[in-house]
C-alpha cells in the first residue's frame, strides 16, 4: 500500500533548516534538465556569480558542492589537508571541534586552541599557538551555531600570511545573515550551507577557493583521497574560464534551481538590508523573552543574530516545553549541545524567519504554555 506524504507545516526556529519561501519551493518543482544541458549550465553559472557577491569575493573557484554544509567542510579538508599538513583550529563549539576531527581523519597534524563555549576565539591565543606550531592552515568558525557566537575575523588574515598559511572560514550560519567579506578578511577557503540564512532547503554547500589556495593545491604530494569531492575533477564539470564541461557526477538539478531562486531573493533584498533585518529580529527576540527570565548567553558584540542562545529561566522544564511548542503550536526551537545541553535554548531567526511575526508566534505560544 502506498501512502501520500504531506508533512505538517511548522515554524522552524531551530538551528536550521529554516522555512523557505513559496518561490524557492516552487523552483524545486520546475522541469528537470540534464546536467550537461546548456540551459542548466547557465543556471549553475548564475549561481556561481551570485555566490561570489554573497561571499564578497572575486574567487573564480566558487560553486555549490553537492551535499550539506558538512560536505563542504569535507571537500575543503580532503583537498587542502594531506598527511603532515599542520592544521591550527580555533574550537569554541561543536563545529570547530568537527573541523579538527575531520582534519585528523585525513591525516593532518592538528592543534586545537580551545575557547570557552559562548565566547569568540581570540587573536592573541591564535597568534601564540601559531608561533609555536607554524601552521599550514588556520581554521576559524565565523558563526558557531552550537553557541550563538559570531567571530570577528580582524587580524586572522595577516596572521595566516605571516606563516604562509591558508585561512579557512566556516560561514554556514553567517552567510547572508551577517557581514561576510572574504577577500577583505584574507580568507582563502570557505564553505556554507543552503538551509541556514540562504533560506533554501538543505542539500548544497557553497564553497570558495582563493587563487593562493589553488597554488598550494598544485603542490600537493598525496593524491586526493576522494573521488566525489576531488577539486581537480569537479572543476572540469562546474567550469573554470572557457574550458569545456565534462561529466563528473550528476548535479542535484532541483537543488540548484532552489539555490538560484534563494540567491536571487537574497540579492533582491540586498545584503546590508538582510543583515540589518537579522540584527533587528535578534534584538527584538531577546527583549521580548526577558519577561520569562531568558538571558542571552553571548555578549552583544559577539552575537550571532540568526541563532540566538538563551540561558533558561530557573527550574524551567526545557525538554517538556520544547516538545509542547512543537506538538501543540508547531514551533520548533533548538536545545543546547555538549556542555550547554539542558542549559540553553537555541532560537533560529534565519532567512525569512528573521521577522516580528515569527517572534510574535513564539511569544504567544510561550505566554500560553508558561505565562
Using CB under 6 A, list all residues that contact ligand PLP: 16, 68-70, 95, 141, 143, 145, 170, 172-173, 193, 202
DSSP type of residue 303: B
To ligand PLP, the closest distance from the beta carbon of 20 in angstroms equals 14
CA-CA distance, 115 to 159, in Å (whole number)? Answer: 18
CA-CA distance, 354 to 307, in Å (whole number)? Answer: 10
DSSP secondary structure letters along 170-196: E-TTTTTTS---HHHHT--EEE--TTS
To ligand PLP, the closest distance from the beta carbon of 165 in angstroms equals 21
* Cβ closest to ligand PLP, residue 41 vs residue 352: 352
CA-CA distance, 137 to 130, in Å (whole number)? Answer: 10
To ligand PLP, the closest distance from the beta carbon of 72 in angstroms equals 8
CA-CA distance, 223 to 81, in Å (whole number)? Answer: 11
* Cβ closest to ligand PLP, residue 41 vs residue 263: 263
To ligand PLP, the closest distance from the beta carbon of 75 in angstroms equals 11
With vertex at residue 113, the alpha carbon angle to CA 109 and CA 116, rounded to the nearest 5 degrees, is 150
Q: Which residues pair with 208 in a beta bridge?
A: 62, 190
* Cβ closest to ligand PLP, residue 95 vs residue 133: 95
Take residue 205 and report the three cell numbers written for it: 554547500
CB atoms within 10 A of CB 6: 5
Take residue 5 and report the three cell numbers written for it: 506524504
DSSP type of residue 320: H
Contact partners, residue 20, CB within 8 Å, separation at least 6 = 199, 200, 201, 258, 262, 351, 352
CA-CA distance, 246 to 234, in Å (whole number)? Answer: 9
To ligand PLP, the closest distance from the beta carbon of 295 in angstroms equals 23
* Cβ closest to ligand PLP, residue 141 vs residue 271: 141
To ligand PLP, the closest distance from the beta carbon of 293 in angstroms equals 27
To ligand PLP, the closest distance from the beta carbon of 174 in angstroms equals 8
* Cβ closest to ligand PLP, residue 41 vs residue 298: 298
* Cβ closest to ligand PLP, residue 17 vs residue 239: 17
CA-CA distance, 131 to 110, in Å (whole number)? Answer: 15
* Cβ closest to ligand PLP, residue 85 vs residue 173: 173
Q: Which residue has the cell 522552524?
A: 12
Is residue 286 within 8 Å of 274, Cβ to Cβ? no
Give residue number: closest CB to ligand PLP: 69
* Cβ closest to ligand PLP, residue 74 vs residue 265: 74
| Cα radius of gyration (the chain) | 21
To ligand PLP, the closest distance from the beta carbon of 117 in angstroms equals 13
To ligand PLP, the closest distance from the beta carbon of 170 in angstroms equals 5
* Cβ closest to ligand PLP, residue 179 vs residue 293: 179
Amino acid at each position: 500500500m502506498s501512502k501520500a506524504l504531506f508533512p505538517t507545516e511548522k515554524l522552524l526556529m531551530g538551528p536550521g533548516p529554516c522555512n523557505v519561501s513559496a518561490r524557492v519551493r516552487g523552483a524545486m518543482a520546475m522541469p528537470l534538465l540534464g546536467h550537461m544541458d546548456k540551459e542548466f549550465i547557465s543556471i549553475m553559472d548564475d549561481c556561481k556569480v551570485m555566490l561570489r557577491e554573497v561571499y564578497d569575493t572575486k574567487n573564480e573557484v566558487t560553486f555549490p558542492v553537492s551535499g550539506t554544509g558538512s560536505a563542504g567542510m569535507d571537500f575543503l579538508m580532503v583537498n587542502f589537508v594531506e598527511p603532515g599538513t599542520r592544521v591550527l583550529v580555533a574550537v569554541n563549539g561543536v563545529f570547530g571541534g568537527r573541523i579538527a576531527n575531520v582534519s585528523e581523519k585525513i591525516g593532518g597534524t592538528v592543534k586545537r586552541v580551545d575557547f570557552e563555549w559562548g565566547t569568540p576565539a581570540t587573536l592573541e591565543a591564535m597568534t601564540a599557538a601559531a608561533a609555536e606550531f607554524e601552521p599550514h592552515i588556520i581554521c576559524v568558525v565565523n558563526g558557531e551555531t552550537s553557541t550563538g557566537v559570531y567571530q570577528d575575523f580582524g587580524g586572522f588574515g595577516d596572521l595566516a600570511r605571516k606563516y604562509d598559511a591558508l585561512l579557512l572560514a566556516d560561514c554556514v550560519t553567517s552567510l547572508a545573515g551577517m557581514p561576510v567579506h572574504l577577500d577583505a578578511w584574507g580568507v582563502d577557503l570557505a564553505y556554507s550551507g543552503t538551509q541556514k540564512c540562504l533560506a533554501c532547503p538543505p542539500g548544497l554547500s557553497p564553497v570558495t577557493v582563493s587563487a593562493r589556495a589553488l597554488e598550494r593545491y598544485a603542490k600537493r604530494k598525496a593524491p586526493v583521497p576522494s573521488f566525489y569531492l576531488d577539486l581537480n575533477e569537479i572543476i572540469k564539470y562546474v567550469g573554470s574560464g572557457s574550458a569545456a564541461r565534462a561529466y563528473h557526477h550528476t548535479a542535484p538539478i532541483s537543488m540548484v534551481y532552489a539555490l538560484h531562486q534563494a540567491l536571487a531573493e537574497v540579492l533582491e533584498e540586498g545584503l546590508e538590508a538582510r543583515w540589518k533585518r537579522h540584527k533587528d529580529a535578534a534584538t527584538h527576540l531577546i527583549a521580548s523573552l526577558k519577561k520569562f527570565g531568558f538571558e542571552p548567553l553571548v555578549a552583544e558584540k559577539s552575537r550571532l543574530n540568526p541563532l540566538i542562545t538563551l540561558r533558561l529561566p530557573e527550574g524551567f522544564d526545557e525538554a517538556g516545553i520544547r516538545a509542547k511548542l512543537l506538538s501543540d503550536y508547531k514551533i520548533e526551537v533548538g536545545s543546547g549541545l555538549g556542555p550547554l545541553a539542558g542549559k540553553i535554548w537555541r532560537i533560529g531567526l534565519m532567512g525569512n524567519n528573521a521577522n516580528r511575526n515569527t517572534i510574535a508566534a513564539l511569544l504567544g505560544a510561550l505566554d500560553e504554555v508558561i505565562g
